[in-house]
Amino acid sequence: MAESKPGEVMEKIVSLSKRRGFIFQSSEVYGGLNGFWDYGPLGAELKRNIKECWWRSMTQLRDDVVGLEASIIMHPRIWEASGHTSTFSDMMVDCLLTKKRFRADQVDPQSGVVHHFIAAVDATEFEKLRKDTLLQKDSLSQTSCVPEANKLLESIEDVGTALSKGFIKLKPTVNSAEFIEILKRLGATSGYNSNTDAYSVLVPKGKPIESAVRVAREIYAKGSASKPVVVWSSAADVAGSTRFNPENGAPLTEPRPFNLMLKTYVGPVESADNLAYLRPETAQAIFAQFKNVLEVSRQKVPFGIAQVGKAFRNEINPRNFTFRSREFEQMELEFFIRPEEAIEAIYGSVTKPSAPGHPGEPQPNWGWQIWHQYWVEERLRFYENIGLPRNSLVEYWQQPEELAHYARATVDILYKFPFSKRDEKGELMGEELEGIAARSDFDLSQHQRFAGKTMTVFDEELKTTWPKLSPVKQSELRERYFQARSKYLTKAGEPSDKGEKLAQEDADLLTKGYYVPHVIEPSAGVDRLALALICSAYCEDQAPDDKGKLESRVVMKFHPRIAPIKVAVFPLLKNKPELVKKAKEVRELLRPHMTVFYDEAGAIGRRYRRQDEAGTPFGVTIDFDTLGEQGAELKDTVTLRERDAMTQERVRISDLPARLCATIR
RNA sequence: GCGGGUGUAGUUCAAUGGUAGAACGGCAGCCUUCCAAGCUGCACACGUGGGUUCGAUUCCCAUCACCCGCUCCA
């Protein structure tokens, strides 16, 4: 990473992304669309490589994980079961003064006196109006506003001190709606400026009206009037109101639904019956298809289901280039494990983590904690394997208060993006690339309840082991499992008698070898990873020009495994047909094995530099030696140029495929 | 969602109330025996919509987008 100012690095990366065809703004010719991005030729290759690396390491190189590719639109009930419908459609209110946002159901009810304000006038203008009216000034009479202005002032109690108090009180006989009408007419005919919005402010009982006036003036001051004099109309006692900000008594907006799922309609009719959502995460499809996959894959718990696919969230505030987008791609694994009661029944004990770091090859008696640790370490290895240095990553253990209610533990893997916040020591804190969550049996249990279909697995080993346990052990394990199920059902909102009954049934099932598996979920963002790899690869260094003078060079130091183009093939000169012919032969030789880019335009140094910006790790140049002009021993050898060190090496053409394939796999 | 800033070729930047230049990049050609050489030619831009004006890329308003700070991030 180049040592520039933080904002500048990001700007350079954004501009290079466009210049070289990594990332474009979506719908750019129409002015763009907030939160959506497209990948150009190099970006598309980069993303493919990321996904392929992930897929290979998660499924093809393992025995215990299989794949799934589910539809983006699923049954709406899935999102009820997962909790997305309710949490995504919370009613939210905003404080009109501080703009702070609250969940409507979490505002503490307040009691006290509500002061109603119906308008505000600018202090300077009000004073001018008052004087002009008293003096019957021309400016008013010319627009025949005198009667209006007179009527306005007559409606007010104690006009003289209104300015110093900061508020106007209407005479009890005055109709406030008529007063507003006069204000508006004055504004329309003479340009007299006022704000006719109404606000109410709550103050505790016994507090003077001035404290309400102060809050009201601040609210009006955010509008047109810089020094507002507010118009007070009435006050009333209230009890248990949730319409005011508990912190300052300022009014809150009407509760507004706040749904972060993108909606669509299935079928041609836009009715509530047809409402569907674009999935906000890919994980739920895995849970919903759990039984089908289990049935056909000949897998047994512990095993996992992996999926790569698009997801959509109607983010409030897309930010930081592609980092927070409304359409994005996820790579998720749901790894199903036995509940600890089953492990203990079968193996006598449960293995827990004993030391930090990778715990090694999975063992059948591993408990959820060690499985969780295993996946954290596996994922860190993955990132290092595709070129993110360990010191650019942060392993962050979520604090208990940060955990989602169903999660037992979550580790975030963060990458230190240039736009990351810094801690008090000035170190980049990092932004989330992936979360590895231990989610207990929450998800499958939810779908079991909502769909009314069993999500249990049958464990032959458990069934045969259980009868051999001592009655004491049996009842201990059964009780623990009952308690766990009972806790879940209570949290899920089942009435206590029904919850108790269901938990007893679950506990009975355990003794017969059935249980709902628990799950460890490593969930990563493809686009975030692509951005991290681009940021990590970006590098400015010095390279000599053809006269040996050092010039700055931009080079994308992608790991060969994920580099969009693996090798570029150049004839040294393009006007020598023998060189061109040979170079094209080399291109065809390599093409079946990797992405190859052929370039014959311009000087050779220029072509190297072009590939440096694309992040192509290798350049192969065909020269006159290749043709055998310097003798037979150099015939059919080429220059292999390495991107980062710019070193050159003489390599036999026949050795090239194996040589290059070794580095890109 | 709030506040501030910015929108001119692919990129980075100029200039201007009378419809725009450069550098680099791109393409084509010539040349060129290993790190952005040279020469010739070509293509490409005032984010969008209103308003003011005889005339707007320029001034005003709105909108969209991007950046920064807050807010939010199940």
User: What is the per-residue pLDDT across A95-144, written as a single tens digit (0 to 9) for each?
Assistant: 777 666 677 767 777 888 888 888 888 777 777 777 777 766 555 555 55
Query: Cis peptide leading into A228, omega within 30 of 0?
Result: no
pLDDT at A622: 96
Instruction: Answer whether any strand B atom is within 7 A of the Cβ of A418.
Output: no
**Is 0.80 topped by the overall pTM?**
yes
Stretch A154-178: mean pLDDT: 81
Instruction: Answer whether any strand B atom is within 7 A of the Cβ of A610.
Output: yes
Token pair of A587, please? 């291109």
Neighbours of A452 (CB within 10 A): 7
Instruction: Return chain A residues 482..511 having CB < 7 Å to nucleic acid strand B.
Output: none
How many angstroms is C1' of B11 away from CA of A9? Answer: 15
Stretch A308-336: mean pLDDT: 92
Q: Which nucleotide is nearest to A311 (CA to C1')?
A: B74
pLDDT by residue (tens digit) across A446-463? Answer: 999 999 999 999 999 999
Instruction: Answer whether any strand B atom is within 7 A of the Cβ of A137.
Output: no
Stretch A52-77: mean pLDDT: 96
pLDDT-wise least confident of A36-45, A132-141, A526-535 = A132-141
| pLDDT top residue among A651 and A230 | A651
Stretch A27-56: mean pLDDT: 94
Stretch A303-317: mean pLDDT: 92
pLDDT at A390 over 70: yes
Instruction: Answer whether any strand B atom is within 7 A of the Cβ of A420.
Output: no
Instruction: Answer whether any strand B atom is within 7 A of the Cβ of A635.
Output: no
Q: Which nucleotide is nearest to A543 (CA to C1')?
A: B35
pLDDT at A215: 80
CA distance A70 to A279: 10
How many angstroms is C1' of B56 away from CA of A29? Answer: 23
pLDDT at A1: 38
Q: Which nucleotide is nearest to A603 (CA to C1')?
A: B32
Stretch A412-435: mean pLDDT: 89
Q: Which nucleotide is nearest to A639 (CA to C1')?
A: B34
Taking the C-alpha atoms of A70, A71, A76 and A77 in order, what is their torsion angle to the nearest 10 degrees?
Answer: -20
CA distance A195 to A581: 79
pLDDT at A172: 83
* Integer angstrom CA distances of residue A332 from A70, A283, A382, A435: 12, 6, 14, 10
pLDDT at A603 over 70: yes
pLDDT-wise least confident of A39-53, A152-166, A315-329 = A152-166
CA A46 to chain centroid? 20
Instruction: Answer whether any strand B atom is within 7 A of the Cβ of A12.
Output: no
Q: Under a CB-based contact definition with an 8 Å cutoff, are residues A208 and A200 in contact?
A: no
Stretch A472-490: mean pLDDT: 96
pLDDT by residue (tens digit) across A2-14? Answer: 344 566 788 899 9
CA distance A220 to A222: 5
| pLDDT top residue among A232 and A377 | A377
Instruction: Answer whether any strand B atom is within 7 A of the Cβ of A9.
Output: no
pLDDT at A532 over 60: yes
Instruction: Answer whether any strand B atom is within 7 A of the Cβ of A404.
Output: yes
Stretch A492-504: mean pLDDT: 93
Q: Which nucleotide is nearest to A547 (CA to C1')?
A: B37
Stretch A225-243: mean pLDDT: 80
What residues contact residue A609 under an 8 Å CB cut-off, 6+ apart? A543, A553
pLDDT at A45: 96
How many angstroms is C1' of B42 away from CA of A602? Answer: 17
> What is the DSSP annotation of A89-129?
TEEEEEBTTT--EEEGGGSPPEEEEEEEEEEEEEHHHHHHH
Instruction: Answer whether any strand B atom is within 7 A of the Cβ of A608.
Output: yes
* Integer angstrom CA distances of residue A190 from A140, A142, A658: 7, 9, 86
pLDDT at A272 over 60: yes
Q: Where are the alpha helices (DSSP H) in A452-571?
A: 460-465, 471-491, 496-511, 526-537
| pLDDT top residue among A259 and A412 | A412
pLDDT at A258 over 70: no
Report chain B positions within 7 A of protein CB atoms: 1-2, 7, 10-12, 25-28, 30-37, 47-48, 64-74
A493-500: long-range contacts (C-beta < 8 A, 24 or more apart)? A494/A449
Stretch A152-178: mean pLDDT: 81
HEC sequence for A175-207: CHHHHHHHHHHHHHHHCCCEECCCEEEEECCCC
pLDDT at A355: 93
Instruction: Answer whether any strand B atom is within 7 A of the Cβ of A87.
Output: yes
Instruction: Answer whether any strand B atom is within 7 A of the Cβ of A102.
Output: no
Instruction: Return chain A residues 317..336 having CB < 7 Å to nucleic acid strand B.
Output: 317-321, 324
Instruction: Answer whether any strand B atom is within 7 A of the Cβ of A260.
Output: yes
Instruction: Answer whether any strand B atom is within 7 A of the Cβ of A14.
Output: yes
pLDDT at A3: 42
Instruction: Give the residue whose CA sits closest to B34 at C1'.
Output: A604
Whether the predicted interface score ipTM is above 0.95: no
Instruction: Answer whether any strand B atom is within 7 A of the Cβ of A543.
Output: yes
Q: Which nucleotide is nearest to A27 (CA to C1')?
A: B65
Instruction: Answer whether any strand B atom is within 7 A of the Cβ of A56.
Output: no
pLDDT at A473 over 90: yes
End-to-end Cα spacing for chain A: 25
Question: Strand pairing partners for A306?
Answer: A67, A333
Which of helix, strand or coil describes residue A525? strand
Longest Cα pair distance anywhere in chain A, in angstroms? 113
Average pLDDT in chain A? 88
What is the percent of chain A where pLDDT is above 70?
93
pLDDT at A202: 85
| pLDDT top residue among A493 and A89 | A493
How many angstroms is C1' of B39 away from CA of A627? Answer: 30
